[in-house]
């Protein structure tokens, strides 16, 4: 989704407000930074959590799969947010130097919402 921005000759402000504009109610904001180039993060799914990811500086590649098909997204524009609904395995790679990835989430941190084993994820997606 496009992030609303306010531009003038001094620069640009990106604005995210909880009312109306998001596909979920926001409960948490966090950000990844100081990620060593060449390292990967993610490699898990969330059972109920929805997220919006915005590369507010630098770039990162996000790979999403539901266990069948896979999509790859290059995030590198602070005016663009990637919505990840619940139930997608995500891998984050190719962090550029200085990348700052902002994450807006629908719930507070809960380890029990994570699926961190690929086999468990596939079984969860295909319960019978
Ligand atoms: C995701 C990608 C995009 C907390 O204690 N509180 C928090 O709010 C978060 C986000 C993490 N943690 C702890 C849990 C782990 O012990 O920090 C450690 C690393 O977290 P995680 O394995 O989730 O880190 P990433 O970078 O692999 O994933 C993060 C998000 O947590 C995840 O939801 O989708 O960024």
Torsion over CA: 16, 22, 25, 27 (sign): negative
- pLDDT of 128 higher than 80: no
* Number of C-beta neighbours around residue 84 at 10 A: 20
Per-residue pLDDT tens for 5-40?
999 999 999 999 988 889 999 999 999 999 998 899
Query: Which of 60, 65, 109, 113 maximizes ligand 1 atoms within 8 Å of its Cβ, making it the mutation to test the pocket?
Result: 109
Pocket test for ligand 1, best of 44, 107, 112 (most atoms within 8 A of CB): 44
Query: Could you report the per-residue pLDDT of 59-79, keeping only the tens digit for each?
Result: 999 999 999 999 999 999 999
Helix or strand or coil: residue 94? Answer: coil
Helix H segments across the chain?
A: 118-125
pTM confidence score? 0.95
pLDDT digits (tens, 9 = 90+) for 97-121: 999 999 999 999 999 999 999 999 9
Q: How far apart are CA 46 and CA 22, in angstroms?
A: 18
């Amino acid at each position: 989704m496009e992030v609303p921005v306010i531009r003038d000759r001094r620069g640009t402000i990106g604005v995210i407000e909880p009312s109306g504009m998001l596909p979920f109610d926001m409960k948490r904001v966090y950000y990844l930074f100081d990620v060593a180039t060449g390292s990967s993060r993610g490699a898990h799914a969330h059972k109920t959590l929805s997220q919006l990811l915005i590369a507010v500086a630098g770039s990162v590649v996000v790979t999403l799969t539901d266990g069948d098909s896979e999509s790859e997204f290059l995030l590198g524009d602070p005016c663009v947010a990637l919505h990840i609904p619940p139930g997608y395995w995500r891998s984050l790679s190719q962090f550029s130097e200085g990348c700052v990835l902002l994450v807006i989430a629908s719930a507070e941190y809960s380890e029990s919402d994570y699926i961190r084993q690929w086999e468990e994820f596939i079984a969860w997606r295909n319960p019978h």
